[in-house]
Structure 1
Amino acid sequence: MRLFHKIFTIACLSSAALLPALAHADDVPPAVLAFLANIERQTHAKPHYDALTSDGSGNVTLKNLTLTKAGTGDDPGVTVKTAEVGFSGITEEAPSLFKVAKANFTNTSVEVSGKDVALSASIPNASAEGWYIRSVSATPTPKEELLSSGTFAQHIASGPVSITSAGQTVTIDNVESNWNGDPATGAGKFSLKINNVALPESTVTLLDQGGMLKQLGYTTLNLDLASDTDLTVNGDNLNYGFTVSLSGRNIGGLKFAGTVNDVPVSAYAEMMRAQSEGKPIDFDKLAPEFQNVVVNSASVRFDDASITKKILPLAAAMQGLDEKTLVASIPPTVQLTLIQLQNEALTKQAVDAVTRFLADPKSLAISANPPTPLKVSEFGMLDPSKPGDAVAKMGLSVTANE
């Protein structure tokens, strides 16, 4: 997902940053100049375009934009080309804060090549509405980094997306994101949906070397990805709630959720910068800043849509058992595994939940809801010789079919 996020962000929004590379500053609206500065600072790439027209009233059109970023080390090279970008309704909302009423991107192509990846992507049409762009100083503060690195647009959408790699083509029906918040602080609610990532049979066969998916009856895959984020600002810290889900149609879905408080703006800005550049987040580097982050809750949930009933007979046959015998053996195995946690209540709860799930597979969830929210530093202070106490402090629970 991180690679797709990189492609989509570059293709749909970075192309606007290519604008004034060959134009005089006086010919380009300040909002475009500001966006160019933000993207160039993040990508360290020089853009080019064939033509720029502006009516002087906040409407700009660009022809044949190209951004090329050479690969270095493990980072792949990226080339983005957009046939036309049209901006309309550019206004200045506040000092150094601009709004683009709508931006349209037509016929965007992306080429990514490096040691571990070689792929191309095509996005015929994409748009952004209510898009806020902030101008920052040459040495921006962490808050300025946060506001300039993020994409604060009320609505972003693309039509079909096609991604090809190693002779295989994966298609996406559409991508949509929404944001409702305060452009002055970045606080607000974000949502992202990537609808129907379709993997054809040839791609599934290539990925499924052991043939397990085929045995389960999944010769093609159709995946949906979604995320929701609620961000609030408290001085130099952020409070952050999120859910991220991946679901396979007629298979099942995984959902991860959590809420944390007191995330330093500087650390969050660094994470956003890494994501915008398509790089992994260096959590080791950020670890000292995270020590006072407060964890309120965390959970992982599986919702079944047919896969459990397909896996059980196949797993039983592989072990030389019938399905009924295998199902009967799972709860005792869970009990033996969890007894080492020295928390009888959790063990019983988990065994009961697994038993209910196996009898009627709907959902299975593991949650942590500490009675008193825990700082990250406190997790390292939990006594490994008393796992039962750690379970209680973290408020661990297991539920099924709820």
Structure 2
Amino acid sequence: MTIRRHVFHKLAVSTFLLTIPLHAAYAQDANAVAERFKKALADQGMNFTWTGISGDASSLALEGVSFTPAAQTEPVALGKITFDGITEQDGGYRIETITTEPYSMTEEGLTFDISAATFTGLTLPPEGSTDPVASMVMYEGMEIASISAKMADKTLFSLDSLSFDITPPADGAALEFTGSAEKFTADLTQAEDPQAKKVIEALGYQTISGNFEMAGSWQPSDGRMGLTQYDITVDDAGTLGFTFDLGGYTPAFLKSLQEMQKKMAEQPAGADNSAQGLAMLGLMQQLTFHAANIRFDDDSLTGKVLDYVAKQQNMKPEDIANQAKAIVPFLTAQLNNPELSAEITAAVSKYLDDPQSIEVVAAPPAPVPFALIAAGAMSTPLDLPKTLGVKVKANDGE
């Protein structure tokens, strides 16, 4: 019996001694992953810290996480973050999922809540990577179930099922991205301006709901950035959409921009930022403008606005529309561009007669450097529409 106890005791001690270096190795690997994540974010101008770590090289958890975005000085306390499905990849790491805890913050009576966020397919570049694209932290998907803002238990804004999907650039192909929110709601009854509140009530938009969708691409090799869709739809009102096409948004430009933002954020309150402002303006000159547009597709908003204005003036909606059509030529004459003035007048008249869509398009025949746009805005602003190839059209199908 004594011999057996002695053997079991030795086995237990041996097992304990063998386990110590094993756990130490796991902790070391977990720290290596966490430190690589921290360094990769720091390279993009973001500060990331934690107070505790557990797990191993395949799955780990960080406690007491704080995150300071670029261009900000106040850290955001995120709590616990979990990393799962970690594997080594080309000298770096691939993490299948990163999950945060729900986040809540209350300031001046306003409570802001975000449900747990999940990032999938995140790639950490290897240490010392010289490839500007490979050195960026990229993820393939992100999901947040809900975001809300409340005041005294009254929901002012909520957003449901927010998600983004990204296809990283590979073999010369551009990065592609899409995003959407299944539904958002906003309570407009809390508007402080009495006149605005009166208009909101008259139009029947005390509470609005809708959704948004976006899509685009980025080619790191030449910095071509295109937002092909950014549509915000408000139910029973309409859809407001934006698109743009820019050049020069290279990884080098992005890194310089992040460094500039970080320097500006480090300036003490009240400091003179004029030098940084000029440097930022100089940096923006690297970009070129290819195209942009803004479009509104009506879903009863225009009719409601005409009805409201007509009631205020004891007139008929069609009379208000005719008045607007008559005023437009006088307003646009100030552009000193007869061709554009006539185009705007025709588009507005067509839209008010049959509200479907109205769109402003800027598409110059050749890319325009931002330096030229800035110079034109200061010296000859009335020539900018010609420089940018501005057109206005109404009821034009997609």
TM-score clears 0.5: yes
Distance change (3 Å), C-alpha of 1:228 and 1:271:
farther
1:100 matched residue in structure 2: 95
Structure 1 distance, partners of 2:290, 2:299, is 30
User: 366, 371, 388: which one pairs with 1:372?
Assistant: 366
Quote the offset at 1:324 in angstroms: 1.8
Q: Secondary structure at the match of 1:152?
A: coil
Q: Secondary structure at the match of 2:366?
A: coil
Larger radius of gyration: 2
2:150 matched residue in structure 1: 164
User: 243, 247, 253: which one pairs with 1:257?
Assistant: 243
Q: Secondary structure at the match of 2:206?
A: coil
Structure 2 distance, partners of 1:397, 1:182, is 34
Structure 1 distance, partners of 2:395, 2:97, is 44
User: 65, 68, 88: which one pairs with 1:67?
Assistant: 65
Deviations 1:219-244, CA, capped at 9 Å, x for gaps? 2121423332310022xx51111143
Quote the sequence identity (%): 18
Size of the alignment, in residue pairs? 355
Deviations 1:90-144, CA, capped at 9 Å, x for gaps? 223323x321123344x4223265xx89533131x4322221122555xx98x75
Structure 2 distance, partners of 1:343, 1:92, is 61
Structure 2 distance, partners of 1:361, 1:48, is 58
CA contact (8 A) 1:52 1:62 kept: yes
Gaps of 5+ in 1: 1-22
1:11 matched residue in structure 2: none
Gaps of 5+ in 2: 1-24, 266-275
2:139 matched residue in structure 1: 153
Distance change (3 Å), C-alpha of 1:384 and 1:127:
closer
Structure 2 distance, partners of 1:159, 1:231, is 27
2:39 matched residue in structure 1: 37
Structure 2 distance, partners of 1:104, 1:336, is 57
2:247 is the counterpart of 1:247: no
Distance change (3 Å), C-alpha of 1:375 and 1:204:
same
Quote the offset at 1:62 in angstroms: 2.0
1:326 matched residue in structure 2: 320
Letter matched to residue 125 of structure 2: R
Structure 1 distance, partners of 2:296, 2:373, is 25
2:345 matched residue in structure 1: 351
Root mean square deviation, CA, Å: 3.7
User: 84, 88, 102: which one pairs with 1:87?
Assistant: 84
User: 39, 47, 51: which one pairs with 2:50?
Assistant: 47
Distance change (3 Å), C-alpha of 1:187 and 1:35:
farther
2:205 is the counterpart of 1:218: yes
User: 303, 310, 319: which one pairs with 1:309?
Assistant: 303
CA contact (8 A) 1:31 1:135 kept: no
Distance change (3 Å), C-alpha of 1:135 and 1:226:
farther
Quote the offset at 1:307 in angstroms: 1.0
1:16 matched residue in structure 2: none
Structure 2 distance, partners of 1:386, 1:110, is 49
Quote the offset at 1:206 in angstroms: 0.9
Which moved further from structure 2: 183-192 or 252-261?
A: 183-192
Quote the offset at 1:175 in angstroms: 1.0
Deviations 1:305-344, CA, capped at 9 Å, x for gaps? 2211111111223345332221001122111111122322
Structure 2 distance, partners of 1:194, 1:109, is 19
